[in-house]
Amino acid sequence: MLGKDEKQALIEKIFAFHTKRAPGIAIGVAMVDLALEKLGPVKDKLNAVCEGQSCLVDVLQNMTGCTYGNKYLRIAKDLGRFAFTLFDRYDGRGIRVYIDIDKIDAEKTPELAKFFTRTRSKEVKEGGPARAESAIKVMNEFDSVGEQIIAWYPVKVLNPEKPPMYPAAQCAECHESFLVLNQGETVCGACRGEIQYFVRQ
């Protein structure tokens, strides 16, 4: 487990990477630290599954070296939970860590409760000074309860192996290189109209 000073230095480093002082970073550092301790050494590569697109993604990348780019980090974005699993790619042995909402006392830690139920005020949601002030409150309240609200259990990850390396081909329409996910494809998803995220100007 990380010492207090070591943990704070890491939080500051990840704040800089994340480009804002989000309370989920401080909470995530405590969660990942716990997960690494509970999992112990791995035989192959450490991998992670993050159950949402949140601060936890940046914490996992910084603390474990599991990134979306090296394919050691998977993101189950549609789950939308403040939780993740660290696992050994060798055999799928893992530890799932999450926030136990039932252990958050809304009277003792009201801002922390609002943070995890997404019920902070309209002013906080809009950003600016109100959001920064709320973030400080959330982190202070988390410091007062710490690991009491973090829960974990062992898991076996289904299909722990590295995702397949798909072959590439040149698109018959745009002539760019693309990954062939289905055998026989000659046109990329953008040219087929299935994947569109921009309009050419």
Do residues 116 and 191 both lie within one domain?
Answer: no
User: How many domains would you assign to the chain?
Assistant: 2
51, 83 Cβ separation under 8 angstroms? yes
Residue 57 to residue 64: CA distance in whole angstroms: 11
Query: Cα angle at 57 between 18 and 136, to 5 degrees?
Result: 50
How far is residue 10 CA from its own chain's centroid?
A: 16
Q: How far apart are the first and last CA of the chain?
A: 51
What per-residue confidence (pLDDT) applies to 200? 80
CA distances from 47 to 162, 177, 192, 198 (A): 9, 28, 33, 32
90 φ, ψ to 5°? -60, -50
What per-residue confidence (pLDDT) applies to 29? 97
Residue 76 to residue 27: CA distance in whole angstroms: 19
The closest alpha carbon to 84, from 74, 67, 97, belongs to 97
Range of the domain at 184: 164-201
Do residues 67 and 9 both lie within one domain?
Answer: yes
What per-residue confidence (pLDDT) applies to 56? 96
Do residues 50 and 106 both lie within one domain?
Answer: yes
Average confidence (pLDDT) per 10 residues, the chain, 201 residues: 92 96 96 98 96 95 95 93 97 97 97 95 90 95 95 96 90 96 93 87 88
Do residues 141 and 177 both lie within one domain?
Answer: no
What per-residue confidence (pLDDT) applies to 127? 86
Do residues 180 and 102 both lie within one domain?
Answer: no
Do residues 111 and 66 both lie within one domain?
Answer: yes
Do residues 145 and 169 both lie within one domain?
Answer: no
